[in-house]
Amino acid sequence: MLNSNPYRFLGVISNSGIKNIQKNLSKIKAYSKIGKHLSLSYELSFFNLQKIDRSESLIKEAENKILLDSNKVKHSLFWFTELNSIDKIALENLNKGNFEKSETIWRKVIKDNSISKSNFSAYNNLSTLLFLMSLSDEKNDKFENSKTSIPLIKEALKLKSELIFSDHLYDLSSLITGNENAINKENILDFFNENISQLFNTNFSSIETSN
């Protein structure tokens, strides 16, 4: 879900808009035809993520994943959004590999503040960042089971659930698709639970995952 996130594949944030997505798609397809690798933003290779394979079949797969507006929102829960200038600065640092700075910025935004129209993106972004920081060094799209990773995963799940169960999930939908009614909260939650469970597979027992 993180390795193969369509937004990572396309080198964009989840609210980049169709023009930027199509621009990158054109580049990806052109490089794929001549068998060359194209480096794009948000590959985030400094985390435990696999190198991106942009073969022809996977290009189509990435396109299909975000064909529907509802799917765009679903996959954004495992990626990043830019709501304001603060997010922009944090994302610029993230792209440079300064993810500790990004973490600090987003933590300041949500510190002592409940989720709102002005900070819901920080909840989404920080929780996604914490997921990425918790990945196994085997680069298998699974969480590491360690004393370091477990607190990060717990915090990320808390932040992400606050967003999903709030009305600001519809603000996220509006930011990404331009339509706050593009989603069904129950479907979003089912998608999130299904995919987050897969991230626990291999390194966590069923009891550990349940806890």
Nearest to 29 by CA among 38, 17, 20: 38
pLDDT tens sequence across 121-177: 999 999 999 999 999 999 999 999 999 999 999 999 999 999 999 999 999 999 999
Residue 211 — very low, low, confident or very high, per pLDDT cuts 50/70/90?
confident
Mean of the pLDDT values across residues 52-72? 92
Question: Residue 204 in contact with residue 197, Cβ under 8 Å?
Answer: no
Give me the amino acid identity at 90.
Answer: A
Residue 28 — very low, low, confident or very high, per pLDDT cuts 50/70/90?
very high
Q: What is the mean pLDDT of the chain?
A: 95
Mean of the pLDDT values across residues 109-131? 96
HEC letters along the chain: CCCCCHHHHHCCCCCCCHHHHHHHHHHHHHHHHCCCCCCCCCCCCCCCCCCCCCCHHHHHHHHHHCCCHHHHHHHHCCCCCCCCHHHHHHHHHHHCCCHHHHHHHHHHHHCCCCCCCCCHHHHHHHHHHHHHHCECCCCCCCECCCCCHHHHHHHHHHHHHHHHCCCHHHHHHHHHHCCCCCCCHHHHHHHHHHHHHHHHCCCCCHHHHHC
State the pTM of this model.
0.96
User: Is 112's pLDDT higher than 90?
Assistant: no
Residue 27 has φ and ψ, to the nearest 5°, of -65, -45
User: Is 99's pLDDT higher than 90?
Assistant: yes
What count of other Cβ atoms lies within 10 Å of the Cβ of residue 92?
14
- pLDDT recorded at residue 135: 98
